[in-house]
Amino acid sequence: DQTYPKLKTRGPIVFPLMPCGSGTGDMVSLGCFATGFTPSSLTFTWNKNGTALTDFTQYPPVQKDNYYMGVSQIRVSRQDWDKREIFQCAVAHVAGKPPILKVLASSNDEKEASFSCYAKDFSPKDYDIKWLKSGEEINNKIYEIKTQTATKLENGTKLYSAASFLTVPSHDLPSHTQFTCEFKGKKDKIDVFTNSSVLYNNNVFMLPPVEHTRTETVTLTCYVKDFFPHEVFVSWLVDDEAASDSKYKFSTTNPVKNNGSYSAYGQLSLGLDEWKNNNMVYSCVVYHQSVVNNIKAIVRSIGQRTSENTNLVNLNMNIPETYPEILIDSNSAMEVEEDNMGGTALTFILLFLITLLFTIGTTVFKVTMSLYVRDVLCIQTTWHIIT
């Protein structure tokens, strides 16, 4: 049994009800159960794949311990049920719900970083929005603006929306700084809290390509790490044009949580012959609300030049505040002195180890998806074929 404080209004807790077994017959009964709400006025709605359904039953609410419970039932075809069509039950009640919060990061200035917090559909009107950096209230802000509330009427209840905009110095933002927008509202003298967070930075790496000689294909991998929240979208471009799903195979793994942030892999598969076309450049584009630039995306590119037998791989293994670079340019020739030959050999060994580590990593990345590298590595190697 649920126990609730006695309030003038209380929103419902909603549970779906579905058949326990496979059952028989051409129809399947689904239910929607709402409990713990007051006042008793409550409306159920149903939809299938977003299309409203009207042929359902709503039973009168029943009172228990000063609160109410209600049930709605609908019968759907077994054919739709077995095809895993999506059926949704929604409940409208005067108590409403906590506001929808959306936090975005943006920047037009290297010296400043801006954050936006949108609170939508809250009631009553009184509210407060507070900004936190890594769990602590922000004191060194450049400025903060709170908008006036906007109003709309829904099911007889006034719902409000508002926004807060924060600007802070960029030099005060180490990598992976978490900003939280905390919303505080009131419901019958009881505080209602909700919050949403965003990381200032996320990291995107284009990993070295893997050639599959048996299938004559190449797999390109885009690794996205340390992002929050978990919603992320990875797309692919070929020479700045969207990759066609009829010509290429691409996929993105489900985000995996690690120490409060998420990581994911996006992969593109293409033919080995096309990969060796020196005119092609392949880019992964990562869209996430924490990306701090105007187009809300991070782009990483990779290509292979065959005219000079050159492999060029851009490895952004981390994106720290300063960008240390190690540039290794190996050009072997018969006339190179012994010291240069030693440097070339060292470069080849390093490339071999990186390729080996990547091959092992792509085999087990579904098991462990943690990668910790501290520098930016840009490796360009020119191979000379001696005949």
For the four alpha carbons of 116, 120, 126 and 132, in that order, the dihedral sign comes to negative
Same domain, 56 and 117: no
Residues 6+ apart with CB under 8 A from 321: 174, 175
Considering the domain architecture, whether residues 81 and 117 belong to the same structural domain is answered as no
Residue 41 lies in a domain: yes
| Cis bond upstream, residue 124 (ω within 30) | yes
If asked whether residues 180 and 294 sit together in one domain, one would say no
Residue 299: the pLDDT is 53
State how far the Cα of 285 lies from the Cα of 289, in Å rounded to an integer: 13
- Residue 2 located in a structural domain: no
Question: Is residue 371 one of the residues assigned to a domain?
Answer: yes
pLDDT of res. 141: 76
pLDDT of residue 182: 85
Do 238 and 146 share a structural domain?
Answer: no
Question: Tell me, what amino acid is at 333?
Answer: A
Q: Is the peptide bond before 39 cis (omega within 30 degrees of 0)?
A: yes
Residues 260 and 349 grouped into a single domain: yes
Euclidean distance between CA atoms 237 and 363, whole angstroms: 25
Count the neighbouring beta carbons within 10 Å of the beta carbon of residue 60: 8
The verdict on 121 and 147 lying in the same domain is: yes
At residue 95, the pLDDT reads 64
Provide the number of structural domains found in the chain. Answer: 3
Pick from 161, 182, 199: which residue ends a domain?
Answer: 199
Torsion on CA atoms 147, 153, 158, 163, rounded to nearest 10: -20
Calpha distance 45→41 (Å, rounded)? 14
pTM: 0.36
Query: Structure tokens of 31?
Result: 């239910």
Answer whether 17's CB lies under 8 Å from 30's CB: yes
pLDDT at 166: 84
Q: How far apart are CA 290 and CA 44, in angstroms?
A: 36
Which of 170, 199, 228 marks a domain boundary?
A: 199
Low-confidence ranges of the chain (pLDDT < 50): 1-7, 108, 292-297, 305-342, 344-345, 359-387
> Does residue 58 fall inside a structural domain?
yes
Q: Are residues 326 and 372 in the same domain?
A: yes
The domain that holds 78 is classified in CATH as 2.60.40.10
Domain boundary among 149, 184, 199: 199
Same domain flag for 365 and 234 = yes
Range of the domain at 184: 100-199
Tokens representing 135 are 């769990």
Distance CA 380, CA 328 (A): 6
CB atoms within 10 A of CB 226: 20
pLDDT at 267: 92
Q: What pLDDT does 71 receive?
A: 94
Query: What pLDDT shows up at residue 60?
Result: 92
Question: What Cα–Cα distance (Å) separates residue 25 from each residue in 22, 29, 78, 340?
Answer: 10, 11, 8, 80
pLDDT in tens, 54-76: 999 999 999 988 889 999 999 99
